[in-house]
């Protein structure tokens, strides 16, 4: 190749690179590194009503990168790595100050489950080894408080739970669904022990794709339970399957095939619930331990409350496994983290999917997905994503190895990042409302006022939306929910303030009792949330 041709090719390469960089920089959303070293690689993450975040990993992998307080070591003669473990495997994080405090947890929480109770405490169930039947609680506090994990001594699971799913129910109790070799459900507080759910046994195959089933509480009080490629409606009052849904095409979706699922925002008369299931691995990739089998990008969407439900299919711009679906305060869904090949499991995936997607439910098929600004940190197996009260999304974890490994192709990840959707862009500041007043406690069906201020005059309706704090793990946010309240047009209240009269959800089937982040949303731009307690 002569020099003139070489120069032309080099110029073309430089132009192409510039275009790619410009296109990426021009995509919506921004990234922010919050903490270089969180001390632990979080596989379970939950946001508390004190605006702190609980990060939790497994306990039996040796030293973390955060020491416990002096004199607070864990003694376990059966631990294969450390008999005397003085390292934290859970921490409390404050995303406003980026400060971290170590927490003490005794039993193994590997691939466990969780859910917030009506009083705001975090229930945490199961795990591996000595954590198999354990029930734990964390009663949250501010970062400088003294709250810590408590292992419940007077109660345990009736059946060991590993890779199970928790969902809070209308009466404030919690159902615990499935788990490895546990084709049953049980409840906290306990009822009569484990109850068989043969549906989970029926869908189990050699890949175990019934693990971490997707569980959503429908507004009629029944549970939508999805495992592998099938779904049922389950009446938890009488412990009976009352409906079978059509099979979802595209292969298995649950662990280890690693799709994700979300129930879209409830609004209107709250009679309609729409479930979305996206992504997953090709069947056989896990059995063959294939790290380079391309993931698929198909999504199924179904009206679970319809008398004649069918799956509506569409494709994401990328094939993806281990993507986290985060319900934003606006009702859009952020899909973030994961990989484009392989399956869930230790060192079983490749080709990180760095591009987040915005799923816009109100758009027609073919226009629902928007590609967002890519990150730079691969977030593989054991990554999490959680909506923060300020509208950012906290990104944590990624430890696709049995223990910490920092010299691997995809190293153990201790960094915490925040992704800011486009609604937090600098051009949206004048539209962003500020909640000046909201009740701390609201009863079902109650009318109440929210006082907001906005820099520019309000045009149209200011929404008030309630989002709970789910327990995020293994590509599924357990209990995740967004409820759009019925609101009257905002009324000027002087000095740029507006009074919005809202009506609380009618019952616990629409919104189970507990703490919710209340967001005011003005023309697609949310406020910083204020926590309210909803109940009878």
Domain spans in the chain, listed from the N-terminal domain onward:
245-372, 431-535
pLDDT confidence bin for 25, thresholds 50/70/90: low
Mean pLDDT over 260-284 rounds to 97
Residue 279 has, within 13 A of its CA and on its CB side, a CA count of 35
Which pLDDT does position 487 carry in this prediction?
A: 97
Mean pLDDT over 500-526 rounds to 98
Mean pLDDT over 81-102 rounds to 96
Pairing of strands 486-487, 184-188: unpaired
CA angle, residues 350, 354, 360, in degrees to nearest 5: 125
Which pLDDT does position 367 carry in this prediction?
A: 95
DSSP state letters, 7-49 = HHHHHHHHHHHHHHHHHHHTSS-EEEEEES--SS--SEEEE-T
Residues of the chain with pLDDT > 70, as a percent, come to: 95
Is it the case that residue 176 has pLDDT exceeding 80? yes
pLDDT confidence bin for 3, thresholds 50/70/90: very low
Is it the case that residue 22 has pLDDT exceeding 60? no
Furthest-apart CA pair in the chain: how many Å? 82
| C-beta separation of 248 from 263 below 8 A | no
pLDDT confidence bin for 375, thresholds 50/70/90: very high
For the chain, how far is it from start to end, CA to CA, in angstroms? 79
Is it the case that residue 2 has pLDDT exceeding 80? no
185: CB partners within 8 A, 6+ apart:
175, 176, 177, 178, 194, 195, 197, 234, 236, 239
Mean pLDDT over 344-348 rounds to 95
Which pLDDT does position 24 carry in this prediction?
A: 57
Which pLDDT does position 446 carry in this prediction?
A: 97
Mean pLDDT over 166-185 rounds to 97
For 384-424, write each residue's pLDDT tens digit: 999 999 999 999 999 999 999 999 999 999 999 999 999 99
C-alpha span between 395 and 405 (Å, rounded): 19
Which pLDDT does position 463 carry in this prediction?
A: 97
Mean pLDDT over 325-353 rounds to 97
More confident residue, 3 or 64: 64
Is it the case that residue 474 has pLDDT exceeding 50? yes
Which pLDDT does position 80 carry in this prediction?
A: 85
H or E segment and range at residue 50: none
For 415-441, write each residue's pLDDT tens digit: 999 999 999 999 898 999 999 999 999
Mean pLDDT over 162-169 rounds to 98
Cα–Cα separations (whole angstroms), residue 189 to 212, 389, 449, 513: 21, 29, 34, 15
Specify burial of residue 430 (Cβ count, 10 A radius: 0-12, 13-18, 19+).
Answer: exposed
Which pLDDT does position 494 carry in this prediction?
A: 86
Q: For the ranges 55-69, 191-205, 300-314, 399-413, which has the lowest average pLDDT?
A: 191-205
C-alpha span between 375 and 354 (Å, rounded): 5
For 222-250, write each residue's pLDDT tens digit: 999 999 999 999 999 999 999 999 999 99
Which pLDDT does position 4 carry in this prediction?
A: 39
Cα–Cα separations (whole angstroms), residue 179 to 73, 95, 209, 293, 310: 30, 32, 11, 26, 27
Which pLDDT does position 204 carry in this prediction?
A: 67
The pTM of the full predicted model, rounded to 2 decimals, is: 0.94
409: CB partners within 8 A, 6+ apart:
none
The CATH T-level fold of domain 431-535 is Immunoglobulin-like (2.60.40)
């Amino acid at each position: 190749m002569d020099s003139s041709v070489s120069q032309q090719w080099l110029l073309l390469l430089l132009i192409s690179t510039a275009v790619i960089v410009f296109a990426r920089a021009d995509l919506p959303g921004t990234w922010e590194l919050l903490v270089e070293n969180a001390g632990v690689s979080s596989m379970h993450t939950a946001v508390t009503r004190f605006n702190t975040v609980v990060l939790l990993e497994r306990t039996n992998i040796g030293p973390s990168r955060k020491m416990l307080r002096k004199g607070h070591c864990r003694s376990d003669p059966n631990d294969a790595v450390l008999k005397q473990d003085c390292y934290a495997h859970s921490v409390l994080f404050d995303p406003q100050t980026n400060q971290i405090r170590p927490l003490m947890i005794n039993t193994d929480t590997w691939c466990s489950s969780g859910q917030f109770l009506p009083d705001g405490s975090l229930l945490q169930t199961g795990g591996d080894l000595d954590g198999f039947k354990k029930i734990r609680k964390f009663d949250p506090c501010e970062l400088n408080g003294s709250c810590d994990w408590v292992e419940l001594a007077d109660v345990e699971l009736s059946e060991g739970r590993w890779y199970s799913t928790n969902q809070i129910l209308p009466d404030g109790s919690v159902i615990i669904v499935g788990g490895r070799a546990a084709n049953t459900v049980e409840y906290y507080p306990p009822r009569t022990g484990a109850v068989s759910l043969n549906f989970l046994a029926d869908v189990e195959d050699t890949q175990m794709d019934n693990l971490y089933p997707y569980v959503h509480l429908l507004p009629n009080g029944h549970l939508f339970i999805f495992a592998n490629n099938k779904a049922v409606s389950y009446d938890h009052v009488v412990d009976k399957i009352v409906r079978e849904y059509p099979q979802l095409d595209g292969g298995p979706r649950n662990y280890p095939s690693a799709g994700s699922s979300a129930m879209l925002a409830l609004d209107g008369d709250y009679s309609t619930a729409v479930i979305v299931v996206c992504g997953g691995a090709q069947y056989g990739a896990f059995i063959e331990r294939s790290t380079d089998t391309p993931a698929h990008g198909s999504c199924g969407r179904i009206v679970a409350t319809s008398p004649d439900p069918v799956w509506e299919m569409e494709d994401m711009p990328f094939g993806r496994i281990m993507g986290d679906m985060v319900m934003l305060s606006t009702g859009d869904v952020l899909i973030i983290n994961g990989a484009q090949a392989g399956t869930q499991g230790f060192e079983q995936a490749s080709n990180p999917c760095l591009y987040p997607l915005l799923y816009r439910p109100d758009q027609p098929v073919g226009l629902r997905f928007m590609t967002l600004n890519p990150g730079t940190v691969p977030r593989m197996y054991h990554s999490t994503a959680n909506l923060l009260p300020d509208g950012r999304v906290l990104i944590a974890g990624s430890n696709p190895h049995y223990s910490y490994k920092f010299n691997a192709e995809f190293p153990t990840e201790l960094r915490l990042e925040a992704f800011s959707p486009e609604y937090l862009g600098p051009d949206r500041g004048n539209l962003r409302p500020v909640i000046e007043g909201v009740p701390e406690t609201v009863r079902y069906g109650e009318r109440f006022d929210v006082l907001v201020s906005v820099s520019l005059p309000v045009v149209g309706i200011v929404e008030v939306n309630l989002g709970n704090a789910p327990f995020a793990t293994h590509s599924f946010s357990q209990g995740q929910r967004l409820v759009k309240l019925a609101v009257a047009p905002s009324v000027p209240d002087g000095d740029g303030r507006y009074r919005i009269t809202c009506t609380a959800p009618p019952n616990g089937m629409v919104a189970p009792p507990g703490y919710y982040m209340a967001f005011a949303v003005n023309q697609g731009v949310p406020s910083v949330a204020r926590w309210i307690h909803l109940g009878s």
